[in-house]
Structure 1
Amino acid sequence: MSLVNALNHPARPAMLAGLELLASAVVMLDADGHIAYANAAAENLLASSLKAMSRQKLSAQFINPDELDHICAQAREHKFSDLRQDLTLERAGRDPLHVHSIVSALDEPPGHILIELREHLQHLKLDREERILDQSQVNKELIRNLAHEIKNPLGGIRGAAQLLEMELPALHAVQLREYTQVIIKEADRLQTLVDRLLAPHRRPHIVGDVNIHEVLERVRSLMLAEFPSGLTILRDYDASIPEFRGDKEQLIQTVLNIAHNAAQALAAQMEEGTAQIILKTRVARQVTLAKVRYGLALDLHIIDNGPGIAPQIRDRIFYPLVSGREGGSGLGLTLAQTFVQQHMGVIECDSRPGYTDFRILLPLP
């Protein structure tokens, strides 16, 4: 099949299958500037399907297409073999795209242009994810070793306090027992903390078929039972998301930890009756997770309209014992990150006053 006939075929051209594996977006324009082909990464970048964009002008996707149109016109006139240029492409109602573009003219079919768009943010995102994974591994080893080092002397301290309490003279037993009880209760409190630190490493990873919307409905019912007034939890689900293999209980705990943190941050809005949490699911295409490329991924968002995360801890919220709330243990997000990484996924956060979005990406079959 010639490329001309392939581009007119309703399905994706088989001879262009290699482009589907690229992480960068690739768009082919015909001689009139209409979109003749877009790979999966381009669909993801432009938030539209090839079927929807087919035979539309690429310039229709952006508010400021003049510079891109000028480059394409020069390419058709063969003024260069390929041109590399950084562009900022603005879109109605969405964040602008900051991309590095590579524009080339094709000899066959005549007048066709091949455009490669590499989003600058994607490279930064991959670097950030790699640092998070490395830091998380260091944190896990540190927590595990530290917890075991604390656990043994704690048992000795508690046991010694109990023995001391038994040997107290009857005359002063009541008064002195207050001190031994303080030792025992504080040892128990630290033991509970250590157990929580070790929990993700002790519990077996129980894998089964998971419907993410069943997970979210369970979390929603638990949240509404705990916060019955002043809080609205909205659903924005993509019903086409398939089941996948995972640990359902771990995923419930992950989403519940994030949603519970959000609800606690929404205390002021609850009093006004304006507190809102959104549970949103989508499918993402051609996603890199933990250095592995996946064709499909679950794109889960837990969004709240709270005050946002304090800037001074925003880069450390997944570290153990870091909390933005008075009296918080700082373990909820650490456990959430551990559980997500056990599912070969990543978790990230975008926060500003009035908007906090925790995004979880998990590979799909």
Structure 2
Amino acid sequence: MGRIMKTEKVMHKRLLDHLRTAVMLLDDELRVCYLNPAAEIMLSTSASRIIGQVLPDYFRDDGNAHGALKQCIEDGNPFTRREAKLEVAPGVQVTVDYSITPLQEPGYPMALLVEMQGLDRMLKISREEALVHAHQATRALVRGVAHEIKNPLGGIRGAAQLLERALPSADLAEYTRVIIDEADRLRSVADRMLGPRKPPAFADVNVHECLEHVRQLLLAEYPQGVRILRDYDVSLPDIPADRDQLIQVLLNLMRNAIQALLESGTEDAQVLLRTRVLRQFTIGSTRHRLVLRVDIEDNGPGIPEELRETLFYPMVSGRANGSGLGLSIAQSIISQHQGLIECDSEPGRTLFSLLLPMELPEANSATSDSA
């Protein structure tokens, strides 16, 4: 019987060790008695370091978390917290749902079972899906509006040309010329709102060559005031992409960063270019085996909070002389590559992350947004 019970305990521990849910066991003094590998990863610690120690104050946003744990030991009532913030290291937080369950074994003091489910990746996927759907809906609306704008412009321009020919005085042509020029300008804006007219021409592209090309262009355009740093993963293979469209996106994002730094007068202004590969990564609702991430990070003033949620919408700009179309077009181009552009901004740091699948998208998906 004793051997069977020992075997069962070993099996139970092995089951806990293989759970993807983070599990901890605390004694009645809130000392850590056990944590499984998932908890070690979540809390960025090791069992040998924390077992036997009083549970650190991870739940700093929860007011009196230790008091709630002590109360659970006293009254034996379990409780759950949703979307709690755990500070696992200085400045490093993870979002979790956690449940506390009191355990009472005859002859032993009360213990607490702590179960934690990480939410950061799920929340990120949810935000990405919302961003993709919002972009698709916005693009459909903008395309409809742009077409409706372009339709009467041809008639207005033609009528102005006919009127110009019939005017009795050449001096009056100044007014018809204003009509023609403004009609041309509106047509140009409508064309930009429509975005790329052709689907990507996929070919093997070296992303570092594209980054260096854009970097040299911007160093020539802005020779002073901003440093452009590089942190490349040189082991990255070529990726399937449209080189010209990819350069257009990178040029837009990097130029925006430099202009924001120069306009704000940031001291020691710098832009960091970083490349990494992500494995088994989900973009929107699609899971990809390998994804390229290109980060464009600057140390400028950050994006105003009221603009962050609508940053990729057409006609939204944080600059006085901005058209508000650059980021929308960039997102549209990357969407045709089955990728996504994300933004994370706070004062002193703005990060645009370009996510691109490293395997060739299917043709019908790549062309779906170009109709």
TM-score over 0.5 for the pair: yes
Deviation at 1:182, TM superposition (A): 0.7
Superposed CA offset, 1:152-175 (max 9, x none): 211111111112112211xx31x2
Partner of 2:187 in structure 1? 191
Against the structure 1 CA distance between its residues 134 and 237, is the aligned structure 2 distance closer, same or farther, given a 3 Å change threshold? same
Tell me the matched-pair count. 323
* Contact preservation (8 Å) 1:157, 1:187: yes
Against the structure 1 CA distance between its residues 63 and 344, is the aligned structure 2 distance closer, same or farther, given a 3 Å change threshold? farther
* Contact preservation (8 Å) 1:26, 1:116: yes
Q: Which secondary structure state, in structure 1, belongs to the residue aligned with residue 195 of structure 2? A: helix
Aligned mates of 1:214, 1:27 — CA distance in 2:
42
1:179 to 162, 175, 181: 175
Q: Which secondary structure state, in structure 2, belongs to the residue aligned with residue 316 of structure 1? A: coil
> Taking every aligned residue pair, what percent have the same amino acid on both sides?
47
* Contact preservation (8 Å) 1:210, 1:246: yes
Q: AA paired with 2:148? A: E
Partner of 1:134 in structure 2? 133
Partner of 1:265 in structure 2? 260
Q: Does 1:342 align with 2:341?
A: no
Partner of 1:203 in structure 2? 198
* Contact preservation (8 Å) 1:285, 1:297: yes
Partner of 1:242 in structure 2? 237
Q: Does 1:318 align with 2:308?
A: no
- After superposition, the CA RMSD in angstroms is 4.1
Partner of 1:233 in structure 2? 228
Against the structure 1 CA distance between its residues 231 and 269, is the aligned structure 2 distance closer, same or farther, given a 3 Å change threshold? farther
Unaligned runs of 5+ in 2: 1-9, 11-17, 25-31, 60-64, 70-78, 102-113, 360-371
Against the structure 1 CA distance between its residues 85 and 352, is the aligned structure 2 distance closer, same or farther, given a 3 Å change threshold? closer
1:98 to 95, 100, 105: 95
Superposed CA offset, 1:66-86 (max 9, x none): 999xx9xxxxxxxxxxx9776
TM-score when normalising by structure 2:
0.71
Against the structure 1 CA distance between its residues 301 and 183, is the aligned structure 2 distance closer, same or farther, given a 3 Å change threshold? same
Deviation at 1:218, TM superposition (A): 1.6
TM-score when normalising by structure 1:
0.72
Q: Does 1:359 align with 2:349?
A: no
* Contact preservation (8 Å) 1:151, 1:191: yes
Q: Which secondary structure state, in structure 2, belongs to the residue aligned with residue 324 of structure 1? A: coil
Superposed CA offset, 1:192-228 (max 9, x none): 111212232x123111112221221122112112111
Superposed CA offset, 1:13-34 (max 9, x none): xxx8xx8xxxxx56799xx999
Aligned mates of 1:145, 1:187 — CA distance in 2:
18
Aligned mates of 1:88, 1:207 — CA distance in 2:
42
Q: Does 1:297 align with 2:291?
A: yes
Unaligned runs of 5+ in 1: 5-15, 20-24, 72-82, 105-114
Aligned mates of 2:117, 2:276 — CA distance in 1:
22
